[in-house]
Each structure stands twice: as C-alpha cells, then as structure tokens.
Homo-oligomer: A and B are copies of this chain.
Amino acid sequence: MSLVHLILGGARSGKSRHALSICGRMRGPHKFIATAQAYDDEMTERIRQHREERANFWHTIEAPIELARAITSVNDGTVLVDCCTLWLSNVMLAELDIGREADALVESIARAKANVVLVSNEVGSGIVPENRLGRDFRDEQGRLNQRLAEISDTVELVVAGLPLRLKG
C-alpha cells in the first residue's frame, strides 16, 4: 500500500527540509522529482541551493511540466515532488489547460505505486494581488492544494520549520 503525504507552507518555511526528513522515514528507493526550471540567474541560483540542501545520492527526475508522467514512472519506494507550485507556474506560463493538467496530476498521485510526498506553497494569505495573473495564480494554487489535500493520507502545514498536522 502506498501513502500520500502533502506538506504545505509559505516561502522559506522549511517545507523542503521537512519533506526530506519525512521521506527518509519511508521505504526506499528514494527518488526526487524536481519541477524547477531555470529561466534566469536568480532561479539558477535557487535551484543550485535546493540541490545542495538535499542528499546528493538521490536519483533526480526533472519534470517542470510532465509531472503526472514522472510520478507514474516510479514503481516502488518513495518519491518526493518539490514542488507543485513551480509546476503550476510552469503550466500557466506554457498556457496549457490547467484543469486538464491538474486532473492528470491528481489521478497520477491517487494511482501511484510509490509513496508520494508532495511539497506545495500556501500563497493565499496576503492581500489581493494587483495584477490579474497574480490573482489567477493564487486561485489556481488554492484549488490545487484543496484537491491534493483531499487525496492525501496526511497533510501538514510547516511554519518556521515546525510541522502542524492538518489531516491524518
């Protein structure tokens, strides 16, 4: 039986580090699905930092957009997806059909043979963004997080590195 564990939190809340620690307690082999895409120097630097933070010996799959397919390709052990927010951002920038992509993602997770640990951002607790894209992104991320929470066995919110159990 495989488990789904969703880890939510704000920027630099310690989500990724907590996710690594959760994965470390689950069965191997461990795989890492990275969704980050380097489109400028700042992003390249952030990706580099994230790579350093995780154990180097993990097998990494790059899946900026084809996340559902990447999850389905893992047949055993535990897979860590970091993160669903960058994936959503990539899908929106590529002007794909968000509803269809989200359906495929949710289905791939629900049917996964591996344990799946998901990292996703909480982005809806500031004031209303000034531009339409920001508002749309906020809405889509909120909807996606609700769907992911619904199919997860365990959901935690990380604040300042400390996990708070929301489900399971």
Question: A11-52, CB under 8 A of B: which get 1 and which 0?
Answer: 111100000000000000000000000000010000000000
**A80 close to B (CB within 8 Å):** no
A6 to B159, CA, bound (A): 12
Tier of interface size on chain A: 35 or more
Name the prevailing secondary structure of the A interface residues.
mixed
Say if the beta carbon of A98 comes within 8 Å of chain B. no
Q: Is A8 an interface residue (CB 8 A)?
A: yes
Question: Which residues from chain A sit less than 8 Å from chain B, CB to CB?
Answer: 6, 8-14, 42, 122-129, 132, 134-135, 137-139, 141-143, 145-146, 148-150, 155, 157, 159-162, 164, 166-167
